[in-house]
Amino acid sequence: MKPRIAVVGSVNMDLVFRTPRMPALGETLSGHEFRQIPGGKGANQAVAAARQGADVAFIGRVGDDGFGQYSLRCLANDGIDVSNLSAVVDTATGVAGIIVTDQGDNSIVLAAGANASLSAEDVEAALPAISSAQLLVCQLETPLSTVTRAIQLAKQHGVKVILNPAPVQALSDDLLKQVDYLVVNETEASQLSGIQVSNQESAQRASEQLLQRGVAVVLLTMGEHGVCITEQGGSQFIAAIKVDVVDTTAAGDTFVGAFAVGIAKGLDIRTASMEAQYTAALTVTKLGAQTSIPQRSEVEQFMQSRAAV
């Protein structure tokens, strides 16, 4: 049987500008490419999980505009169950303005749109999709109260929870105690732990602090420096996969989606993380969010080419 994953999260349309560098304050900078690409952290993670072979149910909201209609079609085309993804009347779909430099760095501005209206009642109505999943995946581009309710429902029905707290905000210990896998980058780990993450040693200390707050497992993604995995038994590091970077957009989301599939398939944390690293590495070799997320066959071929299997 396919792994079963429920995702509560955001749907955005990404407006992507390719530029030679980041503009300075007050500067008008000429770019050399523009694309509209489906995105949103929740949708990206759902697509990543679906393309790695999972049955995915998505719970979220879009606007009643062209961006929303197109996003719905794209998710459905990836085989994702969108029966709990509703359109909100007279509301815009979420939008992300993304600047990508020629070096592959990015800067993002979000307008939440319909994502902000996803409610606790919406996730309660989607209980069959959540309770029948092996894993619930959440982020923070939808209201925290909604995410909190979704996690509560998952735990009540024995469903494990992956939380990617981005954009980062203050979280209660009560919420963190319900999280089985917390996936954070260096910035998020620094803000949630109070420990500035700058190297492996500080990554480990920040992760241990988050364990003390109640999280079961912390996965701290460090870009080209790899991933720090911390459990009660200690920490381990997995090196990054070296590739030529085109655009880092959606790399973290791809890691989350692929990791969720690995865990749902019964892989151990290290193996699931390694496969997620390979999947995310392929993502940064292409431009855009969902346009860059690879299929499982591509990941398997890539891993074989690097003698990882």
Q: Is 199 annotated as a binding residue?
A: no
The vertex-265 CA angle with 263 and 129, nearest 5°, equals 85
Q: Is 185 annotated as a binding residue?
A: yes
Q: Which tokens in the block code for residue 131?
A: 């309770």
Q: Is 249 annotated as a binding residue?
A: yes
Q: Is 43 annotated as a binding residue?
A: yes
Whether 65 is catalytic: no
Considering the candidates 105, 173, 253, 268, report the single residue annotated as catalytic: 253
Q: Which tokens in the block code for residue 154?
A: 């998952």
Q: Is 225 annotated as a binding residue?
A: yes
Instruction: Give the closest residue to 178 by CA, choosing from 158, 205, 193, 208.
Output: 158
Q: Is 292 annotated as a binding residue?
A: yes
Q: Is 288 annotated as a binding residue?
A: yes
Number of H helices, E strands in the chain: 11, 13
Q: Which helix (H) or strand (E) holds 176?
A: helix 173-176
Q: Is 93 annotated as a binding residue?
A: no
Edge-first strand listing for the sheet containing 106-111: 33-39, 12-19, 94-101, 106-111
Q: Is 242 annotated as a binding residue?
A: no
Edge-first strand listing for the sheet containing 4-8: 81-88, 55-63, 4-8, 135-138, 160-163, 181-185, 217-221, 227-231, 234-238
Q: Is 60 annotated as a binding residue?
A: no
| Residue list, annotated binding site for K(+) | 247, 249, 283, 286, 288, 292
| Residue list, annotated binding site for substrate | 12-14, 40-44, 141, 253
| Residue list, annotated binding site | 12-14, 40-44, 141, 185, 221-226, 247, 249, 252-253, 283, 286, 288, 292
| Residue list, annotated binding site for ATP | 185, 221-226, 252-253
User: What are the catalytic residues?
Assistant: 253
